[in-house]
Amino acid sequence: MRCRVCGKKAVYKELGFCSEHFSSYFEKNVADVLNKPFFKEKSLLLAVSGGKDSSAMMFAVSKILSEKRLDFNIKRIESLYINLGIKDNSSYNENLVKQLSEKTGIKLNTINLEEFYNLTIDDLSQKTGKICSSCAVIKRYLLNKFAYENGFDFVLIGHNLDDELFFAIHNLVNRNIDFLVRSAKILPKDEEKRLAGRVKPLYYLTEKESMLYCIINKIPFSTQGCPYAVKNLQMTEKSKQSVLFDSRNKKLSFIKSINKLKKFYPLKKEDNVEPCIRCGFPTTSKICKFCRIIEKAKEN
């Protein structure tokens, strides 16, 4: 098979691209998400984990910015890695994101959960067993807190099309329509609630495409995955999804249809959101989930 642009050997057969034109296609999809006037002169924080998605995102964004492919300037761009204290995993990944930071020239910030909160995911998992949902709360909380306290307007996260698909199906099956409707490619900043905005630059790109982009561009990324995620729900469900949604086009069409339907569903106001009495960040209960996790970890 040949590249449909230049006729060279295709490395991405699904859409028919050589390595050069695949990279252009990938970066164009990322640039299309970011090329919106409300990002003009804003400060952006890239959430990096060492995995293929966030690494591909960081590399693509750095390339787009250095080649001035947006119609305006960004005020500041940096990245953040959260070291969760997972044995044989967190330090290894931290080293990978350091290499990526050197390669792209984007400053890397790190938060070490053990240093800051005297807590590791390994300790927490021994106490509580199931860990994935707590880990997600911790990451989300710390990303927002860091962004908010350091003047970043938006956090960029490496959620891809497969993640969106999983999220949409999962929420439909569980009748969580409010959750489904609230999720978006771009969520604006809410200064009053102390919430930085959230952006998903890989919204139109699949997992497979992130992987290929990393390989083609020799981007350092971890293939080992989280040891706790081996049998989590998301991984099992995603492998079932890939049978029914066996092409990027089907995934994209499904998400686009969902987005059209969302417009007909009124967005419920979250009027029960209040500042956490411990930390001041928004929560729907008196003490936020993050502060409860930290308290629970101290108890034992």
State yes or no: residue 18 binds Zn ion (CB under 5 A).
yes
Task: Between 177 and 291, name the residue whose CB sits nearer to Zn ion.
Answer: 291
State yes or no: residue 140 binds Zn ion (CB under 5 A).
no
Residue with tokens 């044995």: 87
The C-alpha angle 107, 158, 282, rounded to 5 degrees, equals 85
Interface pick for Zn ion out of 36, 182, 262, 278 (rule CB under 5 A): 278
DSSP letters of 18-29? Answer: -HHHHHHHHHHH
Binding-residue total with Zn ion (CB under 5 A): 11
State yes or no: residue 5 binds Zn ion (CB under 5 A).
yes
Interface pick for Zn ion out of 21, 189, 194, 251 (rule CB under 5 A): 21
How many Cβ atoms sit within 10 Å of the Cβ of residue 206?
21
- Characterize the bridge pairing of strands 108-112 and 197-199: unpaired
Task: Between 246 and 270, name the residue whose CB sits nearer to Zn ion.
Answer: 270
CB of 285 to Zn ion, least distance (A): 10
| Residue 282 in tokens | 């928004």
Question: Starting at the edge strand that comes first in sequence, how are the strands of the sheet with 186-187 ordered?
Answer: 108-112, 76-83, 43-48, 154-156, 197-199, 186-187
State yes or no: residue 289 binds Zn ion (CB under 5 A).
no
Task: Between 139 and 159, name the residue whose CB sits nearer to Zn ion.
Answer: 139
State yes or no: residue 6 binds Zn ion (CB under 5 A).
yes
Q: What are phi and psi of 76, to 5 degrees?
A: -155, 145
In 156-278, which residue ranges form alpha helices assigned H by DSSP?
Answer: 161-173, 177-182, 207-216, 233-244, 248-262
CB of 12 to Zn ion, least distance (A): 10
The site string for Zn ion over 154-183 (x = CB under 5 A, - otherwise) reads ------------------------------
Q: Which residues bind Zn ion (CB under 5 A)?
A: 3, 5-6, 8, 18, 21, 276, 278-279, 288, 291
